[in-house]
Amino acid sequence: DGDRRVAAARVAAKPGDPGEEVARWLGLASVAVLQQAARRTFGVSAREIAKLDAGAIAERLVRQETRWA
């Protein structure tokens, strides 16, 4: 699941990719599910992930992992 989150962040961070395509590539049912996952995991919308640098993405992933541990 952690690998999927990293992949999601990398894919969502690419400007110009349609949300439907990103959701489908990640195996999600819809853009709405993608948005929910982005907010739950990173605390921002999928579009806003593109504004995060690698350090911020890693920090949010670690925070998420420790929250569920």
Burial class (CB in 10 A: 0-12, 13-18, 19+), 32: exposed
Residue type at 62? V
pLDDT at 32 over 70: yes
Give the pLDDT confidence of 7-20 residue by residue, as tens digits. 666 666 666 667 78
Question: Which distant-in-sequence residues (6+ apart) come within 8 Å of 11 by Cβ?
Answer: 17, 22, 25, 26
pLDDT at 56 over 80: yes
Task: Work out the average pLDDT over 34-55.
Answer: 84
pLDDT number for residue 14:
64
pLDDT number for residue 24:
85
